[in-house]
Amino acid sequence: MSANCESDRDKDQEASLPANTDNDRIQETIGDFGKWHYNRSVFVSTITSEWDLVCSRQKLMDMSQVTLMIGVLLGNIFCGILADKHGRKNILMVCLLLQSVLGIFASITPYFPLFVFIRFCLALANGGTMVISFVMCMEVVGGKWRTIVSILYQVPFGFGYALLSGIAYLLRDWRNFHFAISLLSMLVPESPRWLLAIGRTKDAQKILIKAAKENNIKLINMDETFSKSVNRLTSRDNRKTINLLNEGVKEKELSNNYKLVRTVLSVFLVSNYGRKLTIIYAFLLTASCSFLILAFPKGAFSFDWPRIVLAGTGIIGISGFQVSIPAMYLFTGELFPTVLRNSGVGLAMMFSRLGSIIAPLLVSLQNVAHFLPLLVMGIVAIIQAVLVLFLPETQGKKLPDTIEDLEI
CATH code of the domain in which 263 resides: 1.20.1250.20
pLDDT over 60 (residue 38): yes
- In this prediction, residues 253-278 reach a mean pLDDT of 68
245 pLDDT more than 60 = no
Going by C-beta distance under 8 Å and a sequence separation of 6 or more, which residues neighbour residue 364?
none
In-domain check, residue 29: yes
pLDDT at position 184, please? 56
Confidence category of residue 305, pLDDT binned at 50, 70, 90:
low
> Is the model's pLDDT at 36 over the cut of 50?
yes
- With a pLDDT cut of 70, the percent of the chain lying above it is 57
Question: Is 298 inside any structural domain?
Answer: yes
Containing structural domain, residue 15: 1-53
- Total domains present in the chain: 2
Q: Is residue 281 in some structural domain?
A: yes
Residue 120: predicted pLDDT: 92
Q: How confident is the model at residue 255 (pLDDT cuts 50, 70, 90)?
A: very low
Residue 187 CB coordination number (10 Å)? 7
| Domain-embedded: residue 195 | no
161 or 104, which is more confident: 104
Residue 181's CB is within 10 A of a number of other CB atoms, namely 18
Task: Please tell me the predicted confidence (pLDDT) of residue 32.
Answer: 42
Query: Does residue 63 belong to any structural domain of this protein?
Result: no
Residues of the chain with pLDDT > 90, as a percent, come to 1
The answer to the question of residue 146 being in a domain is no
Buried (b) or exposed (e) across 342-352, using 16+ Cβ within 10 A? bbbbbbbbbbb
Residue 382 lies in a domain: yes
The answer to whether the CB of 122 falls within 8 A of the CB of 71 is yes
Residue of higher predicted confidence among 242 and 41: 41
The residue among 96 and 360 whose pLDDT is bigger is 96
Mean pLDDT, the chain, whole residue set: 68
- 105, 115, 392 from 64: Cα distances, Å: 16, 9, 40
Q: What angle do CA 61, 67, 72 make, to 5 degrees?
A: 130
pTM of this prediction?
0.57
pLDDT beyond 50 at 89: yes
* pLDDT tier at 117, thresholds 50, 70, 90: very high
